[in-house]
Amino acid sequence: MSPQLSPAVVLDPGSGLHMQEVSTRPAGPGEVEIEVRAAGVCHSDLHVVSGDWPTDRPLVLGHEAAGVVTGTGPGVSSVRPGDHVVLSWFAPCRRCRRCAAGQAWLCTGTKAVANTLPDGTTAFTGADGRPVWPYLGLGAFTNRLVVPESAAVRVPEELPFGIGALLGCSITTGVGAVVNTAGVRPGESAVVVGTGGVGLSVVMGLRLVGADPVIAVDLSPERLAVARRFGATHTLDGAHEDVAAWCRRELGGVDYAFEAIGSPKVIETLPDMLAAGGAAVLVGMTATDATGSFNLFDLADQGKRVLGCNYGSSVGEIDIPKLARLYLAGRLPLDELVGRTRPLSEAGAAFDDLRSHTGVRTILEP
């Protein structure tokens, strides 16, 4: 029997972004088969398309997704066919020292960032017989996937798939940046620069913990209007406002400055936004070789801190169901983060939505 082929959104270093038919092999030991129901288009996919994060091999893009378990390989115990799952793009190895210490987001044994399954292979084969690799160990812009068990996090069936998809990356990263990475407390002040899917989730997290004031900065008036509805008390136009000068003048500096763009130029301005003892939180991801500079005397003299934030310092199996419950309890207004839905064949247009900051998060439905 010839393998079943499905369309996939592939970025090939030679031929760029295109649709390609791929087959997916069945789950092996410790692996889970997934039927994807919704996948968000995150800037971390665009970083690959734009060449910020070069790849030497063809990748099925997509790493922010939710779906249904259709099969399990030997040894899998945490999910079974029919379960609804959110996919975690940083599948922890559960064996390294960081995992043992409960810091799955710092796992040193994961193969996800090498764009392979844990055993170094891929489950995808192109129609020409050549391997195609899963971006961040997932490759969710297609309809059938094989993922490691630690990447499939069971969530309640009443959770809409579009919300589940965004829980796979932007929401967990943004809310986690506030709650886990920074540990913001009620009444502390914060500025969020960049209010796309990730930055809006930071704003939502700040409201959840009772931060005040919360200043949102973006270039898009549409996004800033959403930020207001999510709890921003002030909004600033990043193109025309000197944000650091505003923070010092109006507030004497803020306790936290979150960057959710991935712009070295913006990141360099964060420490100047801070009050003494404040922290800059780097959530946006830059090109892999980016560097930046700060006034080092000011940093030491004023006791300012710079915090890196991978995946919102989250443990997927703990934090994703927690956020799903908060949404279902009406505590997180996640519906408004779900923007336009497009079929997989419109992936190119979905990337244009992201580039032009149109709407909120675009969802692809295989």
Ligand X SMILES: NC(=O)c1ccc[n+]([C@@H]2O[C@H](COP(=O)([O-])OP(=O)(O)OC[C@H]3O[C@@H](n4cnc5c(N)ncnc54)[C@H](O)[C@@H]3O)[C@@H](O)[C@H]2O)c1
* 3-state helix/strand/coil string of 89-125: CCCCCCCCHHHHCCCHHHCCCCCHHHCCCCCCCCCEE
Question: Strands (DSSP E) along 214-292, which ranges?
Answer: 214-218, 234-237, 254-259, 274-282
Helix (H, G, I), strand (E, B) or coil at 33: strand
Min CB(78)–ligand X separation in Å: 23
Stretch of 15-23, 106-114, 214-222, 267-275 lying at the interface with ligand X (CB under 6 A):
214-222
Q: Which of 68, 96, 219, 299: binder of ligand X (CB under 6 A)?
A: 219
Beta pairing class for 31-40 and 65-72: antiparallel
The token pair that represents 151 in the structure block: 């990447």
Q: Does residue number 141 form part of the binding site for ligand X (CB under 6 A)?
A: no
Using CB under 6 A as the binding rule, whether residue 43 contacts ligand X is answered as: yes
Residue 61 interacts with, from Zn ion, ligand X, none (CB under 5-8 Å by kind)? none
Site for ligand X in 71-110 (CB under 6 A): none
Contacts of 169 (CB under 8 A, 6+ apart): 40, 42, 44, 63, 64, 89, 197, 198, 311
Read off the tokens for 97: 């020292």
Closest contact distance (angstroms) between CB of 64 and Zn ion is 5
Query: Among 5, 79, 93, 307, which residue interacts with Zn ion (rule: CB under 5 A)?
Result: 93
Neighbours of 163 (CB within 10 A): 24
Is residue 35 helix, strand or coil? strand
CB nearer to ligand X: pick between 125 and 263: 263
Binding mask 309-328 for ligand X (x = CB under 6 A): xxx-----------------
State the residues that interact with Zn ion by CB under 5 A.
42, 44, 64, 92-93, 96, 99, 107, 109, 169
State the residues that interact with ligand X by CB under 6 A.
42-44, 47, 169-170, 173, 193-199, 217-220, 223, 238, 260-263, 266, 283-285, 309-311, 354, 357
